[in-house]
């Protein structure tokens, strides 16, 4: 779908930070409709854009950029090189204004408060010409008493939004140094090495990243409302889980409430279990005027526990809380949560110190990817798109996503979906790699942010880790620009910076988690050893590996490292041609055209040369641009498969594989496996196979292959290993079978082969080995092994691929057959979208595969648009022997 279709304002409410609480005795007045915006009359940009100083309708939640797009004042920010032309927006100041009515009943309440769930980012809040607040954190909620400044009838609310760059850059240029940040602006709006993003609590990625554009947004990005109350306001309800096992759940309902006056009250907690059974606990309490924190301990016998996908059901309990005084209900709340225990197991063993997630006592090998924001403009993501993304992760046999720290905390809807799908969430706090200031104001601002976000999200069973940041520690210790910076300052100043980071990530955020969500572990940084030594080491903690790709090392070097938990690694690729065509013209279709370089953010546009390096090194020379796109996906998929299966085969030495990255913020080349439009790349189809619950993994080094049977099942099982060796023209050269035993939750070495054992004298370049694990006559795992890089193989130039369509009940099935070996088969329907049960696969001689095709397109149109590509179709003749 084109990017313009992603704005769906009618669905934004489901994507907000709105609390899941109802106030029985309070009045909530939403203030999201009727806003207007303008370019501030005193902004320097008025001279170039005088037509934007008049009031124009605005969307809340939203941003200046999307409002300008809606009003037709700018073109699609993602089209061709429009990004460069729109940088002025983030450098200007903007005004938002709303006229709203207040009735006499509201003003009779003892408390009337204006609540912003999120303002982006620096704003002066003015009500009826009276300045009330200056905001300074995109991730915080702002609550303002306004009773004294409101009057019955029409009132005016104004926000004067300040460009974070224009606000901070003059100050920064007067400082003795600028802290090392992430990516310098490519547009000259900030001097090199003078990044303001370090100093503001705003989504870092919006300043530009190596996978996304620079759009420094301003706006009211979360809902606004008026709250009025007299007797009580329920702030929060949390179901704490001090102890949960199969027999017993020791819980506590923790209720935070503001009371208008002191006096007795009664708190009741009702719950409904997944099977429909119910329970209740109650307690008399004495409220004091002001803030109250109440705790009601209770227990549930034989709880129906919440499990990650693949290990059990995603059971959720519903809890209802009432606070009453006599016959009056002061406040009520509903909470859904799952009951489970979470441990980050750090045992010492023969490989060092482990890093394993244990849920309900079961050690889980984490299979998944790193998640970045879903759009450059968060308000454009719809609930349907979130559901598609998370369902794709689940369907790709992932059980964990790492919420990367350079974006924003996701919506309640996101975590609700993760709960329902059984996807564990590694939740970074929003610190994305830049070195943080050490002043008390920044630390205090960050503490409040963390407290609010932890309290908002802590009832979600899917969150299994709170992590302080992404790459702050390892960057400080090892990145060249940080090392140079450390040499440029005094030892005393270096110590102050280091102490500030230790205080923020080692103490402040840890204490926030301990005080507000002690049932979930905290980790100081990714990668790290939790401040117990150097970061990014193989024998302790989590690990980021970038020598492959960023260091240009061969893909085979993934086999050279076995960390305890690999939380980042990746290879780039382009999205499919239909996505590329949504932002580029036919004249742009070349790897290093200006438009393709503008959408390639790695190495200042030179990332496409890195892609070509890996494509040529492994496959040969692409025939044309479409072949380059196809080969980039094949390279990415096969490379990440090698790394992920190596990690799985090394269990329990390694207990996690999270590749970089699952998704995109805009259309273009990146490390994602699902593109901006939700289309699966080859990597996502491969992930479905290499993250399958049972996998057979051949690891070949120096002519020797070790075959591993990997199982996530909690019980051992018996199966048959079938080994077949073919020449690529279709002749079966050898076949053998033997019984194998698969260990529960483990990796079992089931065979050792030399090349000679498998080849039986056949030529390596013309031979392929196939391994199948068969259980009860069903193939539960399948893998091919080649005896060299793809470009060294004598692949059949005419594999003899053929297609046939048929119906299976209400399903449309596409059968693909081949006479000879077909490597890297890719099914494409051009501009027609279709969901496929399988794609991006190798097909053995004489075999076929049936693929379910689900599409809104007419079946005849699908058949006409169908295009099959395999590796030999994409490489120039003579590029392989």
* Distance, CA of 118 to CA of 16 (rounded, Å): 9
Confidence of residue 20 (pLDDT cuts 50, 70, 90): very low
**Residue, of 543 and 17, whose pLDDT is higher:** 543
Diameter over CA atoms, the chain: 93
Confidence of residue 706 (pLDDT cuts 50, 70, 90): very high
* Distance, CA of 413 to CA of 427 (rounded, Å): 15
The pair of three-digit structure tokens given for residue 275, joined into one six-digit string: 């099977």
* Distance, CA of 828 to CA of 864 (rounded, Å): 11
Confidence of residue 15 (pLDDT cuts 50, 70, 90): low
> What do you get for the CA distance between the two ends of the chain, in Å?
40
Residue 580 half-sphere exposure toward CB, CA atoms < 13 A: 28
pLDDT the model gives residue 602: 98
Q: In degrees to the nearest 10, what's the CA dihedral of 725, 727, 732, 738?
A: 0
* Distance, CA of 341 to CA of 244 (rounded, Å): 6
pLDDT the model gives residue 17: 57
Domains along the sequence of the chain with CATH: 26-225 (2.60.120.260), 231-337 (2.60.40.10), 376-384+540-691 (3.20.20.80), 399-536 (3.20.20.80), 699-754+768-776 (2.60.40.10), 793-881 (2.60.40.10)
Does pLDDT of 312 surpass 70? yes
pLDDT the model gives residue 834: 97
Instruction: Provide mean pLDDT across the span 695-704.
Output: 97
Specify whether the CB–CB gap between 207 and 228 falls below 8 A: no
Residue for token pair 């409302």: 225
Confidence of residue 27 (pLDDT cuts 50, 70, 90): confident
pLDDT tens by residue, 584-636: 999 999 999 999 999 999 999 999 999 999 999 999 999 999 999 999 999 99
The pair of three-digit structure tokens given for residue 91, joined into one six-digit string: 């450098």
The percent helix, strand, coil of the chain (3-state, each to 5) is 25, 35, 40
DSSP result, 90-130: GGS-EEEEEEEEE-HHHHHSSEEEEEES--BSEEEEEETTE
State the chain's mean pLDDT as an integer.
96
Specify whether the CB–CB gap between 715 and 744 falls below 8 A: yes
Does pLDDT of 11 surpass 60? no
**Residue, of 19 and 274, whose pLDDT is higher:** 274
Does pLDDT of 278 surpass 80? yes
Confidence of residue 879 (pLDDT cuts 50, 70, 90): very low
Specify whether the CB–CB gap between 211 and 665 falls below 8 A: yes
Q: Residue 307: which of 340, 273, 345 has the closest Cα? A: 340
Q: How far is CA 85 from CA 12, 49, 89, 90, 214, in A?
A: 28, 13, 9, 11, 11
Confidence of residue 877 (pLDDT cuts 50, 70, 90): confident
pLDDT tens by residue, 297-310: 999 999 999 999 99
Q: Which of 15-29, 85-99, 269-283, 463-477 has the lowest mean pLDDT?
A: 15-29
pLDDT the model gives residue 25: 56
Residue for token pair 């003059």: 170
* Distance, CA of 637 to CA of 669 (rounded, Å): 14
Does pLDDT of 7 surpass 60? no
Does pLDDT of 763 surpass 70? yes
Specify whether the CB–CB gap between 809 and 756 falls below 8 A: no
pLDDT tens by residue, 449-498: 999 999 999 999 999 999 999 999 999 999 999 999 999 999 999 999 99
Confidence of residue 521 (pLDDT cuts 50, 70, 90): very high
For residue 574, what is the enclosing H or E element?
none
Does pLDDT of 12 surpass 50? no
Confidence of residue 216 (pLDDT cuts 50, 70, 90): very high
Instruction: Provide mean pLDDT across the span 719-737.
Output: 96
pLDDT tens by residue, 788-830: 999 999 999 999 999 999 999 999 999 999 999 999 999 999 9
Confidence of residue 16 (pLDDT cuts 50, 70, 90): low
Does pLDDT of 534 surpass 50? yes
């Amino acid at each position: 779908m084109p990017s313009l279709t992603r704005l769906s304002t009618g669905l934004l409410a489901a994507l907000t930070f709105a609390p899941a609480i109802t106030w029985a005795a309070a009045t909530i007045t939403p203030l999201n409709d009727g806003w207007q915006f303008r370019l501030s009359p005193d902004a320097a940009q008025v001279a170039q854009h005088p037509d934007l100083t008049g009031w124009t309708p605005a969307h809340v939640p939203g941003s200046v950029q999307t409002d300008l797009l809606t009003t037709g004042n700018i073109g699609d920010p993602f089209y061709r090189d429009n990004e460069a032309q729109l940088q002025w927006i983030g450098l200007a100041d903007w005004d938002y204004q709303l006229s709203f009515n207040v009735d006499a009943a509201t003003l009779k309440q003892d408390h009337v408060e204006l609540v912003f769930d999120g303002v982006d980012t620096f704003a002066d809040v003015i009500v009826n010409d009276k300045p009330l607040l200056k905001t300074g954190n995109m991730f915080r909620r702002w609550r303002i008493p306004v009773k004294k400044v409101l009057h019955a009838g029409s009132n005016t609310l104004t926000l004067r939004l300040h460009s974070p760059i224009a606000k901070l850059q003059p100050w920064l240029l007067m400082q003795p140094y600028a802290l090392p940040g992430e990516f310098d602006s490519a547009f000259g709006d900030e001097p090199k090495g003078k990044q303001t993003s370090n100093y503001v609590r705003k989504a870092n990625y919006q300043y530009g990243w190596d996978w996304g554009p620079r759009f420094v947004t301003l706006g009211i990005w979360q809902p606004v409302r008026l709250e009025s109350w007299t007797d009580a306001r329920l702030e929060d309800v949390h179901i704490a889980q001090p102890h949960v096992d199969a027999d017993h759940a020791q819980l506590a309902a923790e209720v935070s409430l503001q009371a208008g006056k002191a006096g007795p009250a009664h708190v009741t907690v009702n719950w409904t279990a997944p099977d429909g059974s119910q329970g209740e606990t109650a307690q008399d309490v004495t409220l004091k005027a002001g803030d109250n924190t109440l705790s009601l301990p209770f227990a549930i016998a034989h709880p129906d526990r919440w499990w990650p996908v693949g290990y059990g059901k995603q059971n959720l309990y519903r809890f209802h809380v009432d606070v009453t005084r006599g016959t009056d209900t002061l406040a009520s709340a509903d909470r859904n949560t799952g009951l489970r225990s979470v441990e980050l197991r750090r045992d010492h063993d023969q490989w060092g110190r482990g890093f394993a997630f244990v849920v309900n006592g079961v050690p889980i090998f984490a299979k998944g990817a790193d998640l970045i924001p879903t759009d450059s403009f968060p308000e454009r993501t719809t609930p349907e798109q979130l559901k598609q993304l998370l369902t794709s992760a689940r369907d790709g046999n992932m059980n964990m996503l790492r919420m990367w720290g350079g974006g924003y905390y996701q919506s309640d809807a996101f975590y609700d979906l993760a709960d329902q799908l059984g996807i564990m969430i590694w939740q970074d706090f929003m610190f994305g790699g830049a070195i943080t200031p050490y002043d008390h104001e920044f630390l205090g601002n960050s503490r409040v942010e963390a407290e609010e976000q932890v309290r908002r999200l802590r009832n979600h069973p899917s969150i299994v880790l709170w992590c302080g940041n992404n790459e702050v520690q390892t960057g400080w210790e090892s990145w060249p620009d940080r090392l140079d910076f450390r040499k440029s300052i005094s030892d005393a100043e270096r110590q102050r910076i280091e102490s500030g980071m230790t205080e923020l990530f080692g103490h402040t955020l840890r204490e926030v988690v301990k005080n507000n969500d002690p049932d979930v572990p905290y980790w100081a940084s990714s990668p790290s050893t939790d401040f117990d030594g150097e970061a990014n080491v193989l024998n302790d903690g989590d690990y980021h590996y970038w020598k492959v790709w960023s260091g240009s090392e061969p893909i085979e070097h993934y086999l050279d490292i076995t960390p305890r938990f690999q939380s980042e690694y990746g290879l780039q690729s382009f999205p499919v041609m239909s996505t590329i065509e949504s932002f580029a013209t036919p004249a742009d279709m070349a790897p290093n055209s200006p438009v393709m370089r503008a959408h390639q953010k790695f190495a200042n546009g030179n990332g496409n040369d890195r892609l070509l390096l890996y494509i040529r090194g492994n496959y040969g020379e692409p025939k044309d641009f479409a072949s380059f796109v196809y080969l980039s996906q094949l390279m990415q998929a096969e490379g990440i498969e090698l790394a992920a299966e190596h990690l799985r085969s090394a269990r329990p030495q390694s207990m996690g594989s999270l590749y970089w990255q699952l998704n995109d913020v805009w259309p273009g080349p990146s490390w994602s496996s699902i593109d901006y439009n939700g289309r699966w790349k080859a990597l996502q189809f491969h992930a479905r196979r290499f993250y399958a619950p049972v996998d057979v993994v051949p690891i070949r080094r120096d002519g020797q292959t070790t075959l591993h049977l990997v199982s996530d099942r909690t019980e051992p099982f018996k199966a048959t290993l079938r080994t077949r060796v073919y020449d690529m023209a279709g002749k079966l050269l050898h076949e053998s079978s033997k019984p194998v035993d698969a260990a529960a939750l483990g990796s079992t070495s089931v065979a050792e082969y030399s090349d000679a054992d498998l080849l039986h004298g056949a030529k390596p370049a013309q031979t392929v080995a196939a391994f199948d694990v068969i259980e009860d006559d069903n193939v539960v795992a399948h893998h091919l092994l080649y005896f060299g890089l793809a470009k060294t193989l004598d692949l059949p130039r005419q594999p003899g691929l053929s297609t046939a369509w048929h119906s299976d009940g209400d399903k449309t099935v596409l059968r693909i057959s081949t006479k000879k070996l077909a490597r890297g088969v890719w099914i494409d329907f051009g501009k027609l979208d279709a969901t496929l049960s399988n794609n991006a696969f190798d097909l053995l001689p004489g075999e076929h595969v049936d693929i379910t095709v689900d599409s809104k397109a007419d079946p005849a149109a699908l058949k006409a648009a169908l295009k099959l590509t395999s590796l030999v179709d994409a490489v120039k003749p003579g590029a392989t022997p």
